[in-house]
Amino acid sequence: MAVAHRSDINLNIGLDENRVPEEMTWSAADSGVENSKTKAAMISIWDEKAQETLRIDLWTKDMPLDQMKKYIHQNIMALADTLERAGGEADYAKDLREYALDLGEKMNVLKRG
């Protein structure tokens, strides 16, 4: 099958003299995002040959810890969604969500009613 369309997602990272991120923006033309400021990004790439995940975790040095905790919690919840949607693994996704909810309570990023 021929590729019908290509799409780019770009990160622009401003580094200090020690190569620590000070500012970040991202763009995704197909989504209408252009140089939107952010304080964190996680990129996970599946290396099929090595059968392992390659990762880049970036965050600006001024990102508050409470925001980082929310970011981590929401990423775990998103992983559960992906597991269910892409893999059809509803039971595992439910377990992961329960773990994320417990962790979110412990980190004080949410309160269960």
Query: pTM here?
Result: 0.85
Measured CA angle at 100 (ends 95, 102), to 5 deg: 95
pLDDT at residue 13, as a whole number: 97
pLDDT at residue 112, as a whole number: 65
pLDDT at residue 87, as a whole number: 86
pLDDT at residue 1, as a whole number: 82
Taking 50 as the pLDDT cut, the residues of the chain under it are: none
Q: Cα(81)–Cα(87) distance, rounded to whole angstroms?
A: 10
The domain limits of the chain are 1-59, 64-113
pLDDT at residue 113, as a whole number: 63
Question: If you average pLDDT over every residue of the chain, what do you get?
Answer: 95
- CA distances to 1, 6, 30, 43 from 64, in Å: 46, 35, 30, 20
Q: Cα(63)–Cα(39) distance, rounded to whole angstroms?
A: 6
pLDDT at residue 103, as a whole number: 95
